[in-house]
Chain A
């Protein structure tokens, strides 16, 4: 059952360090989305990528955050110089397409704690 895989599941970083979160979409899916969930909140859209392309990064902070989805390998969400406010659960989702509405399947998330 090859669902969306994310690793690590838990990540602890000190302020100023870098965090790299990885996401492997479901087999056959070429559309990847990243969402952030703060405690007791719903998920908030960050970025939408297809292979080698960022389609929409309107929900991602302009500084310190970047995302990629290379031709080979997983999608990476990178947070540089982390601050305490970056502590959250980061979820990746994938879909087969975007025509009409295509169901987004979510991974188990990476819980980032910044000390």
Chain B
């Protein structure tokens, strides 16, 4: 089945530092999604990528859809304490069931003020 592998599993950084995390798959995805989950809450969509090679920004966040369609990365610049949370990559499954999102296991980000 389709699986998404995220790395790193966790990161501890100082406020102001830049962060990079990525997501890979052995299968092709036609859409890549990046979500953030705060403690005790549901995931919130940060960035959606729909085309291979696409580079999209949302404030301090930048994400890219890999050319091979098997990977994506998310960068956060100038981190702040409220960036703390779990970041998930996700993608719809192929084969007519694009409503089923497959999630990675997440990257836990801790920002020290």
Interface stretch of the complex, out of A12-20, A61-69, A71-79, A102-110: A102-110
How far does the Cβ of A102 sit from chain B's closest Cβ, in whole Å?
Answer: 8
CA distance A55 to B44 in the complex (A): 24
Count residues of chain A with CB under 8 A from any CB of chain B.
29
How far does the Cβ of A93 sit from chain B's closest Cβ, in whole Å?
Answer: 8
Contact with B along A77-115 (1 / 0, CB 8 A): 000000000000001010100101101111111010000
Count residues of chain B with CB under 8 A from any CB of chain A.
24
CA distance A95 to B101 in the complex (A): 12
How far does the Cβ of B12 sit from chain A's closest Cβ, in whole Å?
Answer: 17
B99 CB contacts on chain A under 8 angstroms: 31, 33, 48, 55-56, 95, 98, 104
Is A108's CB under 8 angstroms from B103's CB? no
Is A109's CB under 8 angstroms from B105's CB? no
Is B42's CB under 8 angstroms from A101's CB? no
Is B100's CB under 8 angstroms from A59's CB? yes
Most buried by B among A42, A59, A91, A95: A42
Top 8 nearest A-B pairs (CB, nearest first) are: A42-B103, A106-B42, A45-B100, A43-B103, A98-B99, A106-B43, A108-B42, A42-B105
A residues contacting B by CB (< 8 A) are: 4, 6, 31, 33, 35, 40-45, 48, 55-56, 59, 91, 93, 95, 98, 100-101, 103-109, 111
